[in-house]
Chains A and B, each alone.
Chain A
Amino acid sequence: MKQFTYVKPTTQTTAVTAIGKPGTKIIAGGTNLVDLMKKGVTAPNRLVDINALPLKEISTTKDGLHIGALALNSVVSENATVIKLQPLLSMALKAGASPQLRNMATVGGNMMQRTRCVYFYDTTMPCNKRAPGTGCGAMEGYNRMHAIFGTSDKCIAVHPSDMCVALAALDATVVVTGKKGTRRIPFTQFHRLPGDNPELDNQLAADEMILSVEIPENNFAKNSYYLKVRDRQSYAFALVSVAAALDIQNGVIQSARLAMGGVAHKPWRLFDAEKALAGKPATEDSFKTAALIAMQGAKGHEYNAFKLKLAPATIVEALKHASGLV
Chain B
Amino acid sequence: MMKEATISTIPTSADGLSRVDGRAKVTGAAKYSAEYKLDGMTYAVLVGSTITNGTIASIDIKAAEKAPGVLAVITYLNAPKVPGHQVAKNPGKPEVKSGPLKVFYDNKIMLNNHPVAMVIADTFERAQYAASLVKATYNKQVHDTKPPKDINKGVAPSDGKDFTRGTADAWQNAPIKLEQEYTLPNEFHNPMELHAIIAKWNSDDKLTIWDKTQGVKATRGDIAKAFNLKEENVQVNSQFVGGAFGSALQVWPHEIAAIIGAKVVMRPVKLVLSRPDMFTSVGYRPYTWQKIGIGATADGKLVGITHEAAGQTSSYEDFSEGPINVSKALYACPNVTTRYKIVSLDVGTPTWMRGPGEATGAFALESALDELSYKLKVDPIELRLINYAKTDPVSGKPFSSKFLDEAYEIGAKQIGWKDRKAEPAQATQNGWLVGYGMGGGMFGAYRDKATVKAIMKADGILTLQTAVSDIGPGTGTAMTLIAAERMGISPDKIKFEMGESSLPDAPMQGGSATTATVGGAVYDACNDLKQKFQKLMGNGGTDKLDYAKILKDNNLPSLDVTVQSSLGSDGQKYSMQSWSVHFTKVLVHPKTGVVKIDKVVCVADSGTIVSPKTARSQIVGGAIGGIGMALMEEGVIDQRYGRYVNNNLADYHVPVNADIPQIEALFVNKPDPHINQMGAKGMGEIALIGMAAAVANAVYNATGKRVRDLPITPDKLI
Contacts and interface: CB of A to CB of B under 8 A. Distances in A.
Interface of A: 1-3, 40, 98, 116, 118-119, 122, 124-125, 137, 140-142, 144, 227, 229, 231-236, 239, 306, 309-310, 313-314, 316-317, 326
B714 A2 contact: no
Nearest to A98: B656
Contacts of B643: 122, 124-125
B128 interface: yes
A232 B631 contact: yes
Contacts of A1: 125, 128-129
Interface stretch (B72-80, B250-258, B507-515, B586-594): B586-594
Interface of B: 50, 125, 128-129, 132, 430-431, 589, 591-594, 596, 631-632, 636, 638, 640-641, 643, 645-646, 650-651, 653, 655-659, 713-715, 718
Nearest to B649: A235
Given A232-B658, A310-B592, A317-B592, A140 B640 contact: yes
14 contacts: A118-B645, A124-B50, A124-B643, A125-B643, A229-B594, A231-B713, A232-B632, A232-B656, A233-B658, A234-B656, A235-B650, A235-B658, A239-B714, A313-B718
B431 A326 contact: yes
B655 A314 contact: no
A232 B653 contact: yes
A141 B638 contact: yes
A2 B591 contact: no
Contacts of B714: 229, 231, 239, 310
Contact of A232 (B132, B593, B646, B659): B659
Nearest first, the 6 A-B pairs at minimum CB distance are: A233-B658, A306-B715, A234-B658, A313-B591, A118-B645, A124-B50
A235 B656 contact: yes
Nearest to A141: B638
Contacts of A236: 653
A275 B129 CA distance: 54
A239 B431 CA distance: 21
Given A122-B643, A144-B715, A229-B594, 16 more contacts: A1-B129, A2-B129, A40-B132, A116-B651, A118-B646, A142-B636, A142-B638, A227-B592, A231-B631, A231-B653, A232-B653, A234-B656, A235-B656, A309-B718, A310-B718, A317-B591
A234 B657 contact: yes
Contact of A125 (B593, B641, B656): B641
Nearest to A118: B645
A271 B569 CA distance: 78
Nearest to A145: B651
Nearest to B590: A313
Contact of B632 (A144, A231, A310, A317): A231
B632 to A, nearest CB: 6
Contacts of A235: 650, 656, 658
Q: Which of A140, A231, A235, A317 has the most CB of B within 10 A?
A: A231
Contact of A233 (B125, B638, B651, B656): B656
Contacts of A98: 656
Contacts of B650: 116, 235
B592 A313 contact: yes
Contacts of A326: 430-431
Nearest to A235: B656
Contact of A119 (B430, B591, B645, B657): B645
A144 B129 CA distance: 32
A142 B643 CA distance: 11
Contacts of B596: 233
Contacts of B129: 1-3
A147 B592 CA distance: 18
A122 B50 CA distance: 10
Contacts of A309: 718
Nearest to A40: B132
B73 to A, nearest CB: 18
Contact of A239 (B125, B632, B715): B715
Contacts of B658: 232-235
Contacts of B653: 231-232, 236
A232 B594 CA distance: 8
B645 A141 contact: yes
Nearest to B655: A232
B273 to A, nearest CB: 15
Contacts of B128: 1
Nearest to A38: B128
A3 B68 CA distance: 11
Nearest to A119: B645
Q: Which of B431, B645, B653 has the most CB of A within 10 A?
A: B645
A144 B716 CA distance: 12
Contacts of A119: 645
Contacts of B640: 140-141
A262 to B, nearest CB: 12
B659 A233 contact: yes
B94 to A, nearest CB: 35
A1 B640 CA distance: 28
A309 B592 CA distance: 9
A186 B632 CA distance: 38
B591 A316 contact: yes
Nearest to B593: A310
B509 to A, nearest CB: 29
A46 B162 CA distance: 64
Contacts of B718: 306, 309-310, 313
A131 to B, nearest CB: 14
